[in-house]
Structure 1
Amino acid sequence: MNPSYDEAEQVLKLPNSYFDRGYKKGKEEGIEIGVEKGREEERKEMLQTIPIAIKMLQEGMELQLTVEKTGLSQREVEKIKQQLENL
């Protein structure tokens, strides 16, 4: 019993199919890891920037200028300012 040409072609494609699935999964995992590292870096930057924003606000710097210089959002700076006022 000889396998047909189509069956033989399908068997030859199997390694490529496995490779493609593995490559796709690896790529997805790599993207996921990259996104998580990006979030972690953003958190670190924010933790470094908040004390600077606090000092700027304590020294009377305008809210908008604090936003521009720290890169924090206006909402974040407003929240910091409100917390300082409640101390």
Structure 2
Amino acid sequence: MMEQMENLPEEEKEVVLQLPNSYFERGLEKGKQEGKQEIALELLAIGMPINQIAEITKLSKEEIKKLAGK
């Protein structure tokens, strides 16, 4: 694959080299979001108010209500 990349124009090489990073960053963000949702569910389970959960997790109140099934 590296041999094929050598034949690409410089601009295209840069785009191809950035692809793995963009996938990694998207995966990282998705993991962070899922972690926040898990924490929100745990806090809902112990009866914490939605406004406090929103403050702690930085999720919107609407997202939390959706998680709670409200």
Q: TM-score, normalised by structure 1?
A: 0.57
> Which protein has greater RCO, CA pairs closer than 8 Å, 6+ apart?
2
Q: Which amino acid aligns with 1:56?
A: L
**Which whole-Å deviations, capped at 9, do the CAs of 1:2-58 have from their partners, x for residues lacking one?**
xxxxxxxxxxxxxxxxx8x62211211233332221110011122222221111112
Q: Which runs of 5+ in 2 are unaligned?
A: 1-5
Q: RMSD between aligned alpha carbons?
A: 2.2
C-alpha distance 43-61 of structure 1, shift in aligned 2 (>3 A)? same
What is the number of equivalent residue pairs in this alignment?
Answer: 64
Q: Which amino acid aligns with 1:67?
A: A
Q: Which amino acid aligns with 2:31?
A: K
Partner SS for 1:61: coil
What residue in structure 2 maps to residue 32 of structure 1? 19
Q: Which runs of 5+ in 1 are unaligned?
A: 1-18
C-alpha distance 32-73 of structure 1, shift in aligned 2 (>3 A)? farther
What residue in structure 2 maps to residue 67 of structure 1? 54
Q: In 1, distance between residues paired with 2:17 and 2:55?
A: 33
Rg larger for: 1
Worse-superposed segment, 36-45 or 73-82:
73-82
